[in-house]
Amino acid sequence: MTQDPTLGANPPLERPTTARKGRGAISSGTGRFERQVRVAVEDDWPGDLEALPPMRTTVGHDTSRTVIARNNSPDIPFDRSINPYRGCEHGCIYCFARPSHAYLGLSPGLDFETKLFAKPDAPALLEKELRKSGYEVAPIAFGTNTDPYQPVERQRRITRGLVEVLDRANHPLTIVTKSSLVLRDLDILSSMARRNLCSVAMSITTLDRDLARVMEPRATTPARRVETVRALAAAGVPVRVLVAPIIPAVNDHEIEPILQASAEAGASGAGYVLLRLPLEIKELFTEWLEQHFPDRSSRVLSLVRQTRGGALYRSGWGERQRGTGPYADLIAQRVKKTKRRLGLDETVRAERLDCGQFEAPPATGDQLSLL
């Protein structure tokens, strides 16, 4: 059917009767750029949406010609990043990258976590970009959009290839992940850490395994993430923890326990992000709340609005990560005081990494250096 123009940028979502096992989003709403909206309708025929088979993950081929994405956002501590994959199988309902799937004509809902696109040419493209005349070195951030160590990486090994390129070039990098798979590359990361070329941030949203299964169904369990922090720290890799996102009345009571567990595991820094609900995520998150937390959904949304000037989201520089108002200020104070008490104030971000060791990767046929 044709989309009703009164719906604005966010068309209605398909409404299954229940969540699908192992998936975060409840629905597969039509992307905001599509001219038609497709919805599931109960027609009284035998069978129902609950009986549908599990959704399988498919992986397509992304043919991007460049691999380094640039940004000049004043509230982001990096100016370049790499995302080896589009979409993420972890299924985190709150993921702010979900709306990007609409650019592919796909749903930011279930499509985002089941229809992935890999960039197998990424390591070769990265070498090419690093060789460009006039390339200026600055840390490259991984995991800023989708997780570079999501399950598909176990077989595809694209992130591994990219890290190998940066290792050979003595190029600094930072990683944000919620996967223990990062330990697979500890041989490279520990070597780079000794040269002050890398740091890792582990995202820990909860210590409650049951809550994690609902919030991020295919991500590493909370206990395993804490142990990953411990293993990284023991190997000499600078590691910080991100309590991200903090969701009012869902996981906000866990700020102090998460930071405590992280400090005991060897983290030297910590940060947080307040829940962000841009574009389609508003509707996706709302229906997720109604499905899993019907007893408090209105309370959660009320608190969110209190941190966003009465709206569910405001995208202004400086406030989109932290929010505003008394509740947001209270969260900030709790994080600040707990970090100070636990010694988690150390900066292990990109600004401390060494950019002076970089050597551009040689091209095939280049004459070898005599020195």
CATH of the domain at 156: 3.20.20.70
- How many structural domains comprise the chain? 1
pLDDT digits (tens, 9 = 90+) for 128-168: 999 999 999 999 999 989 999 999 999 999 999 999 999 99
Confidence check: pLDDT of 368 > 70 = no
359 falls within a domain: no
137 falls within a domain: yes
86 falls within a domain: yes
Give the domain range for residue 16: 5-352
369 falls within a domain: no
73 falls within a domain: yes
- Quick one: pLDDT band at residue 73, thresholds 50, 70, 90? confident
Instruction: Give the pTM.
Output: 0.88
366 falls within a domain: no
Query: What are the tokens at 347?
Result: 């900066």
DSSP assignment of 312-352 equals: S----TTTTTT--SHHHHHHHHHHHHHHHHHT-B---SGGG
Query: What are the tokens at 317?
Result: 């520089």
pLDDT digits (tens, 9 = 90+) for 217-271: 999 999 999 999 999 999 999 999 999 999 999 999 999 999 999 999 999 999 9
253 falls within a domain: yes
87 falls within a domain: yes
CA separation for the pair 334, 325 (Å, rounded): 14
pLDDT at 247: 97
- Quick one: pLDDT band at residue 316, thresholds 50, 70, 90? confident
pLDDT at 24: 85
CA separation for the pair 172, 105 (Å, rounded): 35
Asked if 230 and 269 touch (Cβ cutoff 8 Å), the reply is no
